């Protein structure tokens, strides 16, 4: 089994090949810089699959925006590191990434606990349904939609025809009321 020979070019040759959009340029770029750029990304994004996706996105961005590179402003590697770093930071700051991480952690922990303790979520056994039944009707409706039927706050607001802020306030008040039963 033969190993594929890595392509290496001088920085000047690589820049010229990138400007001319030659196939060898992207191959050399990957061979020469993928491990370094992955290292930059993986310091910011610790999940392997997401870091690998961002590495690919980095190379695509380098290829498509190469006309913005200027050798007078700095070295090619520095420019590429900034692209990789900025993409990783943007990903961390993105709402979907934050939600994905929150949801994934909770999901993994719940699954782990369920598997270890062989538990099943049943609100009737905890008496929570009875306690929710004692809430004011407007609070009860919101709690049932959000916690028992899986509605988002926005969906609950649409369903009940009331403002989102009112949903959040009533839900907060309901939770505070329910907490008094557990202290």
In tens, the pLDDT along 14-54 reads 889 889 988 888 888 888 889 999 998 988 888 898 999 99
Q: Are 56 and 62 in contact (CB under 8 A)?
A: no
The pLDDT score that the predictor gives to residue 113 is 47
Q: How does pLDDT run across 99-137, given as a tens digit for each residue?
A: 665 554 444 555 554 455 554 544 454 567 778 888 899
DSSP 7: P
pLDDT at 2 > cutoff 80:
no
Please choose, from the candidates 148, 182, 149, 151, the residue with its C-alpha nearest in 3D space to the C-alpha of residue 167: 151
Say which residue the tokens 């609070």 belong to: 139
Asked if the 1-121 domain carries CATH number 1.10.1740.10, the reply is yes
Q: Regarding the domain delimited by 123-183, which CATH topology (the fold level of the hierarchy) does it fall under?
A: Arc Repressor Mutant, subunit A (1.10.10)
Say which residue the tokens 């961002």 belong to: 54
Burial string for 118-149 (b: 16+ CB within 10 Å, else e) reads eeeeeeeeeebeebbeebeeebebbbbbbeee
Cα–Cα distance, 97 to 39 (Å, whole number):
20
pTM of the model: 0.51
The pLDDT score that the predictor gives to residue 56 is 95
Question: Where are the domains positioned within the chain?
Answer: 1-121, 123-183
The pLDDT score that the predictor gives to residue 52 is 93
Q: Are 8 and 28 in contact (CB under 8 A)?
A: yes
When pLDDT is averaged across residues 156-163 and rounded to a whole number, the result is: 92
Confidence of residue 157 (pLDDT cuts 50, 70, 90): very high
- Strand, helix or coil for residue 37: helix
Q: Are 88 and 45 in contact (CB under 8 A)?
A: yes
């Amino acid at each position: 089994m033969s190993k594929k020979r890595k392509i290496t070019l001088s920085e000047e040759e690589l820049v010229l090949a990138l400007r001319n959009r030659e196939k060898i340029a992207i191959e050399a770029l990957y061979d020469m810089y993928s491990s370094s750029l992955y290292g930059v990304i993986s310091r910011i994004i610790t999940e392997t699959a997401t870091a690998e996706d961002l590495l690919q996105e980095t190379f695509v961005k380098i290829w498509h925006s190469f006309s913005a590179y200027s050798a007078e402003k700095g070295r090619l590697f520095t420019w590429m590191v900034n692209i990789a770093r900025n993409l990783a930071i943007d990903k961390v700051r993105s709402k979907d990434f934050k939600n994905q991480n929150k949801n994934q952690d909770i999901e993994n922990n719940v699954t782990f606990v369920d598997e270890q303790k062989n538990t099943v979520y049943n609100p009737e056994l905890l008496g929570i349904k009875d306690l929710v039944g004692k809430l004011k009707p407007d609070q009860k409706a919101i709690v049932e939609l959000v916690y028992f039927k899986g509605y988002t706050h926005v969906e609950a607001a649409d369903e009940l025809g009331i403002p989102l802020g009112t949903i959040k306030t009533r839900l907060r008040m309901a939770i505070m009321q329910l907490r008094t039963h557990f202290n």
